[in-house]
Structure 1
Amino acid sequence: MRIFKNYLYNLTFQIFQIILPLITTPYISRVLGPRGIGINAYTNSVVSMFMLFGTLGFNIYGQQLIATSRDSHKKLSETFWSIFFIRSLTILVSLIIYLVVIFLFFRGQKYAIFLIAQILSYGSTILDISWLYMGMENFRKIVIRNILVKVLLVMSIFIFVKNHDDTLIYINLLNLISLLSAITLWIGLPVSRPKIHTFFSKKKLSLYKTHILKSVALFLPSLAIQLYLVGNKVILGAFAGYKQSGIFENANKIITVSLTAIASIGTVTLPRLTNAFSKKNKQDFNKVIKNSFTFLNAFSFPMMFGLILISSPFSLMFFGNSFAGAGLILCVLSPIFVFNSWSTITGYQFLLSTGQIKKYTFSTVVSSTVSFVICLLLAPKFGALGAAIALLAAEGTISIVQIIVTFDQIHYKNFVFDGAKYFVASLLSWLLTNFVVEFVHVRGIYLIACQAILFILFYVILVCFFKSDIIQLAMKIILSFFKKRSEN
């Protein structure tokens, strides 16, 4: 029940993150245009690459370590401060290198000012201690404070961003609000104050070395993933220009925002799985894995077909005519919903929680290599479409490789039949909806609403008809919720 509550908290915030772009993206797309959005996408991807080397694998490593030490307040405090201290130092080293690179290679260039503006994101990264609360499974605090800060961001965008020349203001707003969000997490910090002199003791120095070595093991897969998530944007911006980068950024943003529901599963279950594995609670561990497969298959397949269904009218209405071609990019990227849901379970949930870092790293390195080669070959000629194909290939590769390396540990045959039901139900819903809308003479938002309603209706009916496991799982969750309410 605690996992379900945490998932609801996290999902609430993720839904909020879905709603916010629905409000701001159409406005920003028309005000800044593809070029302005492309400049932000490119410069942010550059600073993100440097930031990645600063954070190493501390976010995931810290979350896991907090999950195993949270039962003792003293141990929790010591763990938090030791990770925070060494993580801050590595990020500062990364900042120094970033400044040197700007000075040597971008000094005097037209867009150097945008790279300098991105420096502010280093402050929010250092102060971001969400990994502490995630490890403690305290998602309520993160969600409530982030929602308030995001509302402030929306208001600021509409007040201060007015035309194509406000790209710099837009970048500064994004980074300032992120900094404010990170600062709020320090209010009511659930750990004891540190003794500064202990940071430099011989015992702590040895502990820092251990933290770095273990976080580097998690850093390698993070690096590989970021190379195809962020690296594609760098290649696209460098070889195809800011306009193509802006088109890809907006299309990819829809995918990324929509994936938040899937990401929530991995975020809230990793501490529980890590804790269960450390206590050798095999029954609880397998139950979470099974329910994750059921839930994610039930949602990822309709998300894929649903996006294909509405991609063309949605992209024109949402982004405007200057982003022509974004609909095709959305179609190409849509299978990522399925691939990402599988890799969330096989990689983020299973391999990481059981300490199989080498297998996880191998899968990410292979996928990153595939993405880099394809993007380098296709992006200069095909622009955003080439980057989209590269990203899809990467997501597909990481899922396939992780399934292969975990095939003897996860009983996939138990999930294939039920997963096929969601695929068939989604495919039939897509075909039926396309057939029905041929007789409905509406355009724009009314067409999208009609397609969405019909697709959801057909899908729910078919899932119930096939007697899929999601029905039983949903009933258990609902009954458990009302039972607990009645007991209270």
Structure 2
Amino acid sequence: MSKSIKSNYIFNLLNSVSQLLFPLITFPYASRIMMADGIGQVQFFSSIISYISLFTCLGIPMYAIREVAKVRSDAAKMSTTTVEILLLHAMLTILGYVAVAVICMTVSDVQTDIPLFLILSATIFFTAIGCEWFYQGIEDFKYVAIRGLVVKIISIALLFLLVKTKEDILWYGAYTVFGVLGGNIFNFIRLRKYVDRKIIDVHNLHPLRHLKPAIHIFVFNVITSIYLQLNTVLLGFLKDVAAVGYFTAATKLISMTMSVSNSLSSVMMPRASNLIAEHKMDEFKSIVQKSYDFIIAISIPLAIGLIFTSKSAVLLLSGEGFYPAILASQIVAINIISISMSGVMGIQILYPMGKINIVILCTFLGAITNVIANILLIPNYGHYGTAVAFALTELVVTFSMYLIGKKYIPIKLIKRQHLNYLISGILMGIVLFTIAEQNYNNITTLISMFLGGVLVYAICLTALRDPISKIIMNTITSKIKK
């Protein structure tokens, strides 16, 4: 991978990790101040707003990244495309606030605290002006990461200063909006640096031309969210709420782990879109193969690591009462590999090539698999059955994507090089198993596993003279020299 992609990946990973870690700092404080009913009130209103925001965003963020990336070398086209997409989002946002007004006037549960609901509805506005898709499209991940980090630090300070009693629920609501989307104000203002209003022909603006392709992304997002939500919905109906709790605890770990590999797809998609638009197909093929190799190199140890660390991690994060979540967490660990593979094929290759319909079809096949498997497995196996259904779903998505889109996917799915990662991962697993057998407390075990696992995996790759280890070592050496 080129130097800029490495830097982009690091900055995007920093942004993703910060989004996971900051709630670990703020939520314990907020939950003790707001108590369960206060947190529940904000979460209930936020969930309503999130559905409205889902429709006002349509599929714009993901679609816009590709479109900006395709024209970023042409200032006039980039400015025109950006303004058109902002106008389309503005139109949808107006419809969103019509929905907010209707809900405020008709839903009695919302009428209990309309000011809080309106404060939380600012999410819709901030999302519309945020245009983070623009900065991802031009690959300015450094700005996105630094801005996000600064805003999160400020928001934490405001939380501790303004939220001191349960009566400060409006301030807590404002914090939840600002902490996530406050930086979007700076995004919008900073657009002046890139968008030249003088070269935009107002009469040639056609924002609605982006509606149909954005809807395709929206359909993909809806199908994905449906089968992800169906796991817990079916589990709740066919078993009980305790099983839902165990499954939720199990999937929290994989969500945190997946941020490491998902960050690369976010970085690669705009680069791939740009190379295709400029007809640099040889470079495109080379770069996605390197990306795939790197994804395999990190997803295998992450999956193996999650299998062995699940016990200590679940008990540390959720408590002794969630012991049944451990096996479920170990079952879904395989998803780290399958989701990473489908991310490369779907987000980095098929979508930039305009083959979103293949991605939608494969996701739909996964959704059908998920429903059938859950119905068959939940009655007898509870949350373990849901974990198996979830793992099976992602395998179906991954392999159907490769089989259906094979003629468009210019990568080797299995290479001799990948054997290095499997061997290194197995040796790492042996070390992790040995550490797990010691009678350390959960924190000591996790730290020992992390340090030991990383060290063993790195030593093995170096001994095998793997290309990925050489790239990492060269990067470290160059940084030290600088």
TM-score relative to the length of structure 2:
0.83
1:10, distance to aligned residue in structure 2 (A): 1.5
Residue 340 of structure 1 corresponds to: 339
1:351, distance to aligned residue in structure 2 (A): 0.3
1:86 equivalent among 85, 88, 96: 88
- The question of 1:441 aligning with 2:439 is answered yes
Residue 74 of structure 1 corresponds to: 76
What RMSD in Å do the two structures reach over aligned CA positions?
A: 3.9
- Name which of structure 1's ranges 115-124 and 131-140 shifts more when overlaid on structure 2: 115-124
Q: What amino acid is the match of 1:146?
A: G
Q: How does 1:275-286 map to 2 (within 5 A)?
A: 275-286=274-285
Distance 1:193 1:412, change over 3 A: closer
Q: How does 1:377-388 map to 2 (within 5 A)?
A: 388=387
Superposed CA offset, 1:211-245 (max 9, x none): 11121222221222222345556666788888766
Q: How does 1:249-328 map to 2 (within 5 A)?
A: 249=248, 251-321=250-320, 323=322, 325-328=324-327
Residue 414 of structure 2 corresponds to: 415
Describe the SS at the equivalent of 2:224.
Answer: helix
Distance 1:55 1:284, change over 3 A: same
Distance 1:425 1:162, change over 3 A: farther
Distance 1:242 1:92, change over 3 A: farther
Residue 64 of structure 1 corresponds to: 66
| Alpha-carbon distance in structure 2 between the residues aligned to 1:314 and 1:79 | 45
1:421, distance to aligned residue in structure 2 (A): 3.0
| Alpha-carbon distance in structure 2 between the residues aligned to 1:198 and 1:463 | 55
Describe the SS at the equivalent of 1:259.
Answer: helix
Whether the 8 Å CA contact 1:38–1:244 is kept in 2: the answer is no
Whether the 8 Å CA contact 1:291–1:473 is kept in 2: the answer is no
Whether the 8 Å CA contact 1:237–1:245 is kept in 2: the answer is yes
Residue 143 of structure 1 corresponds to: 145
Distance 1:287 1:237, change over 3 A: same
Q: How does 1:64-463 map to 2 (within 5 A)?
A: 64-97=66-99, 100=102, 106-108=107-109, 118-157=120-159, 172-189=174-191, 190-192=193-195, 194=197, 201=203, 203-204=204-205, 207-230=206-229, 232=231, 248-249=247-248, 251-321=250-320, 323=322, 325-372=324-371, 374=373, 388-410=387-409, 413=412, 415-438=414-437, 440-463=438-461
1:368, distance to aligned residue in structure 2 (A): 2.8
Distance 1:110 1:441, change over 3 A: farther
Distance 1:240 1:181, change over 3 A: farther
| Alpha-carbon distance in structure 2 between the residues aligned to 1:24 and 1:238 | 32
Whether the 8 Å CA contact 2:308–2:429 is kept in 1: the answer is yes
| Alpha-carbon distance in structure 2 between the residues aligned to 1:165 and 1:317 | 31
Superposed CA offset, 1:284-319 (max 9, x none): 111211111121111111111111212122222223
For structure 2, which runs of at least 5 residues remain unmatched after alignment? none
Aligned length: 477
Describe the SS at the equivalent of 1:137.
Answer: coil
For structure 1, which runs of at least 5 residues remain unmatched after alignment? none
| Alpha-carbon distance in structure 1 between the residues aligned to 2:148 and 2:419 | 37
Return the structure number with greater relative CO, CA threshold 8 A, min gap 6.
1
| Alpha-carbon distance in structure 1 between the residues aligned to 2:39 and 2:371 | 23
Distance 1:316 1:236, change over 3 A: same
Q: What amino acid is the match of 1:459?
A: Y
Distance 1:239 1:86, change over 3 A: farther
Identity of aligned residues (%): 24
